[in-house]
Amino acid sequence: MQNGEVTALISTFTIDGISIVLEREGKSGVILDFLNALTSSRGFHIYSPSMDDRIEAVSLMKMGLDYEDAITLQCAFANNIDEIMSLDRHFDKIKEIKRIEP
C-alpha cells in the first residue's frame, strides 16, 4: 500500500480499536509505528465516523452485528464502499458488502 497501488479506507474507530488491542497485548511500543505507517501510506484514507454514522450503526445492529462490526459497516456504506477486508465472517451475512480475507 505504501506505493499507492491500492486505495483503502480505515476509520478512526478501527484505528483506536487496533491501538487499544496493541496496548493490552503489551505492544504499546508499536502503536506509534502503526499510526505513522497509516499516515504515510499513499492510497490510504482515514475516515472519522460522525454522530450520524454512529446512530445509523445502532440501526445496523438489527442485522445481527455487534456495535464494532456495525460501525465498520456504516463507515463503508457512508463512503460507497462495497468490499471490506476482514477475517470476521459476520460480514458474510450482509448482502450489501463483499468480505475479502486479507
pLDDT in tens, 28-73: 999 999 999 999 988 889 999 999 999 999 999 999 999 999 999 9
pLDDT band at 1 (very low <50, low <70, confident <90, very high): very low
Q: Kindly state whether residues 41 and 78 are assigned to the same domain.
A: no
pLDDT value for 41: 87
Asked if 86 and 14 count as a contact pair (C-beta separation under 8 A), the reply is: no
15 to 46, 65, 72: CA distances (angstroms): 9, 19, 11
My answer on whether 35 and 53 are in the same domain is no
DSSP codes, the chain: -TEEEEEEEEEHHHHHHHHHHHHHTT-GGGHHHHHHHHHH-EEEEEE---HHHHHHHHHHGGGT--HHHHHHHHHHHHTT--EEE-S-GGGGG-TTSEEE--
Q: What is the pLDDT of residue 3?
A: 54
Domain assignment of residue 59, given as a range: 49-102
pLDDT bucket at 6, cuts 50 / 70 / 90: low
One domain, residues 41 and 86? no
Same domain, 65 and 21: no
pLDDT number for residue 86: 93
For the segment 76-87, the average pLDDT, to the nearest whole number, is 95
32 & 74 share domain? no
> Which residue carries 499510526 as its cell?
35
Structural domain count, the chain: 2
